[in-house]
A and B are shown apart, each in its own frame.
Chain A
Amino acid sequence: MPILQPLGRTFLIFLQATGRIVLFTATSVSHCLRPPIYPRLIGRQMIEIGYYSLPVVGLTAIFTGMVLALQSYTGFARFSAESAIPNVVVVSITRELGPVLAGLMVAGRVGAAMAAEIGTMRVTEQIDALDTLATNPFKYLVAPRLIAGLTMLPILVLIADIIGVFGGYVVSSYKLGFNPATYLKNTMDFVEPQDVISGLVKAGVFGFLVTLMGCYHGYNSRGGAQGVGAATTNAVVSASILILCFNYFITELFFAR
């Protein structure tokens, strides 16, 4: 059965990779929970992930909110349902677009940078140097990034939610002729705590996934510049796919009836 052989081999490679990622995750999480903790390194990563991602996440959010209002208007005008625009914008942004787009943007910016930095450390023996200096690389490199990703993404998404809704408000008020006060009132009346909370939970999970993939692929990179390049690509691709995958399951967890 020559066709089954490569299929089986691919499946075994997939299982092997999954096992490696699970082990890497378990080791990383255990180091996040056990002292010593490095507050200085966690702080530096929080600034790197949170503060420096603000412009890109903010721009993504404002244009997404603006486009959403415009598209909803052209669609809803056919059914004379324009008044639902504030509701559509706020629910779409808080539940889906805020966390998913912020997650993808951070995967591109931060996940790639982490994989490149840790990958370069691996191929230039800096990780071996950490070991010989009696410092666990998981504790020093991986744990601070995971903690920062897990905590900063929800904050970024909360800001993205506000900016996204503001984008919809600007377009609706100044271009589509909505009353600004009514638009805001409708938004606040319609949005529920669960909408925002589900988005923040997603953001925490996505932040963890992005940093985990960046660290995993960087830590396991091999073979010089080419290996670091491959690690960077793999980090972004795997994080993006995992974000979309986990987005479905978390949505199902919160909203499936």
Chain B
Amino acid sequence: MTSPSPETTPKIRIRGLHKSFGDKVVLDGLDLDIGDAQSVVVIGGSGSGKSVLLKCILGLLTPEAGSIQVDGEEVVRMNGRGLERVRRKFGMLFQNAALFDSLPVWENVAFGLIQGERMERGAAKKIAIEKLAAVGLGPEVGELSPAELSGGMRKRVGLARAIATEPEIIFFDEPTTGLDPIMGDVINDLIVKCVRQLGATALSITHDMASVRKIADRVGLLYDGKIIWDGPVGNIDTSGNPYVDQFIHGRAEGPIEMQVRAI
């Protein structure tokens, strides 16, 4: 997937990425370029390796082979302070929000500011309340515990946490999974608004086509460990690629074979 022009360094450049767990090969020579301030969505079936791709870029998993460059800097096998410095460029909305149960909502949002940037707690709380307002939540929510929030509210708090440090790159892991269509659309709108306001580069993974159409500039289909099709979101319905057609129409028959065992 090569969207940025050849003369510009992409924000994220991935080449020949390999990752397997035991005998199961998940990523098999994946290539992907994400340009600055671009919103790329990677689609693919469950278990196709979308989350693994995000975790490899963040350094949470180490690939067996391949290269991942962020702003031209190689991050594979980077560790210690170097990795911490690179991670400060990132914000991430996790699939189930991954809020810290032991902290109130405002402290979850302000976590990166207090722990990562050593900001004074009072100032960090003020920013946290502003970020909660940006995702449509009142200051009273800041005092609640994550256990008291609904699924939609948890996603919004997760989004507020992801944008609190005003990162250059934001990852969205299945941002609308588990939400009703209306709340899913609210989250999609918030993602578009927040990413545009920050001018951030966004990489999202999802299998929700409504979400894809709303938040993507470019789309890539991950299948068999590789990006087998990519293009602007406007071309997705006329791609002429049988894998893409099967995926976007949600058909059981087609070239994508789901691993199901006969009863």
Interface positions of A (Cβ within 8 A of B): 117, 120-121, 124-126, 128-129, 131-136, 140
Contacts and interface: CB of A to CB of B under 8 A. Distances in A.
Given A128-B60, A129-B98, A134-B84, 14 more contacts: A120-B101, A126-B100, A128-B55, A128-B58, A128-B94, A129-B94, A129-B99, A131-B58, A132-B92, A133-B87, A133-B116, A133-B161, A135-B116, A140-B115
Contacts of A124: 96, 98
A134 B87 contact: yes
Contacts of B91: 132
B58 A125 contact: no
Nearest to A136: B84
Contacts of B95: 125
B87 A131 contact: yes
The 7 A-B residue pairs with the shortest CB-CB distance, nearest first, are A125-B98, A129-B98, A134-B116, A133-B112, A135-B115, A134-B87, A132-B92
B124 to A, nearest CB: 12
Main secondary structure of the interface of A (DSSP, over half): helix
27 contacts: A117-B102, A121-B100, A124-B96, A125-B94, A125-B95, A125-B96, A126-B99, A126-B100, A128-B58, A128-B94, A128-B98, A129-B99, A129-B100, A131-B59, A131-B60, A131-B87, A132-B90, A132-B92, A133-B115, A133-B116, A133-B161, A134-B84, A134-B87, A134-B88, A134-B112, A134-B116, A135-B111
Interface of B: 55, 58-60, 84-85, 87-88, 90-92, 94-96, 98-102, 111-112, 115-116, 161
Contacts of A117: 102
Scoring B95, B96, B100, B161 by chain A CB atoms within 10 A of each residue's CB, the highest score goes to B100
Contacts of B96: 124-125
Contact of B58 (A120, A132, A136, A140): A132
Contacts of B115: 133-135, 140
Contact of A126 (B85, B87, B92, B101): B101
A120 B84 CA distance: 24
Contacts of B58: 128, 131-132
Contacts, number: 53
A168 B115 CA distance: 49
Does more than half of chain B's interface fall in helix, strand or loop, or is it mixed? mixed
Contacts of A121: 100-101
A144 to B, nearest CB: 12
Contacts of B111: 133, 135
Nearest to A131: B60
Contacts of A136: 84
Nearest to B94: A125
A117 B102 CA distance: 10
A125 to B, nearest CB: 4
B162 to A, nearest CB: 9
B24 to A, nearest CB: 15
A219 B102 CA distance: 16
Contacts of B116: 133-135
A119 to B, nearest CB: 13
Nearest to B92: A132
A125 B101 CA distance: 12
Nearest to A133: B112
Give the one of A124, A129, A133, A140 with max B CB within 10 A.
A133
B87 A129 contact: no
A121, A126, A129, most chain B CB atoms within 10 A: A129
Interface centre among A117, A131, A132, A140, by most B CB within 10 Å? Answer: A132
Interface centre among B55, B101, B115 (most CB of A within 10 A): B115
A113 B121 CA distance: 28
A126 B98 contact: yes
A132 B84 contact: no
Contacts of B98: 124-126, 128-129
B115 to A, nearest CB: 5
A151 B130 CA distance: 40
Contact of A132 (B87, B99, B101, B102): B87
A80 to B, nearest CB: 59
A140 B102 CA distance: 13
A135 B165 CA distance: 13
A187 B8 CA distance: 82
Contacts of B102: 117
Contacts of A129: 92, 94, 98-100
A165 B161 CA distance: 53
A25 B95 CA distance: 31
A140 B84 CA distance: 14
Contacts of A131: 58-60, 87
B137 to A, nearest CB: 19
Contacts of A132: 58, 60, 87, 90-92
A116 to B, nearest CB: 12
